[in-house]
Amino acid sequence: MIHALSLLLLCQLLGEIAVRALGISLPGPVAGLLFLFLWLSWRGWQAGDTDPVVPPEIETLATTLLRYLAVLFIPVAVGVMEQVHMLRAYGLGILLSVALSGIAALAVTSLVFEWVMRRTLPPGNLDFQATGETPQREESLPETKGADTHA
C-alpha cells in the first residue's frame, strides 16, 4: 500500500508543479488526478485494453481512503466552529443570499425552459402549462409504399 500511496502523492506533486509552472487556474490535486488517469489509461493501452487498468494496490488504497472520507470533513467543521462569531454577525445575510439566489436560479431556469419550449414546439402544442404534462413532438414518419410494416 506504500507504493500506491507514493504514486498518488507523486501524481499530486506533478499536478501542483504543472499548475504552478503553466499558471493554470486549476487545483493541483485535480491536475494530479488527471495525471493518474492518464497513467492508468496508458497502462490499459499497454495491456491491450481500452479501459484504464487499476492495479490492486491502488484499488485497495482508494477503498480505504473512501472508507474514512468523512473524517476529512472534520477540519472544515472545526474551521466553521472557529468562526462562529462571523456566523453570528453575518449568518442571516449568508442564509438569505443563499436562499434568494437558489430561488432566483429556479425562476430563471423555469423561464428559460418555457422560452425554449415555445421556440421548439409547434404553436398548438403548448398545453403543458395547463396540464403539467410534458408535450411530445409529433413527427411524421415517411410512409413506405408497398412494403409490409407489420411483422
Distinct helix (H) and strand (E) counts, the chain = 6, 0
The three cell numbers locating residue 20: 504552478
Position of cell 434568494?
100
Strand locations in 59-141 (E): none
H-run or E-run covering 31:
helix 28-46
The three cell numbers locating residue 85: 462569531
pLDDT band at 92 (very low <50, low <70, confident <90, very high): very high
Nearest one of 17, 49, 12 to 33, comparing CA atoms? 12
Rounded-to-integer distance, Cα 1 and Cα 35, Å = 19
What pLDDT shows up at residue 74?
Answer: 86
- Give the chain's mean pLDDT: 83
What pLDDT shows up at residue 119?
Answer: 86
In angstroms, the Cα distances linking 128 to 66, 107, 121, 136, 137 are: 44, 17, 11, 10, 12
What pLDDT shows up at residue 76?
Answer: 83
When mean pLDDT is compared across 30-39, 98-107, 130-139, the lowest value belongs to 130-139
Q: Is the pLDDT of residue 29 over 70?
A: yes
pTM for this structure? 0.49
Rounded-to-integer distance, Cα 7 and Cα 138, Å = 55
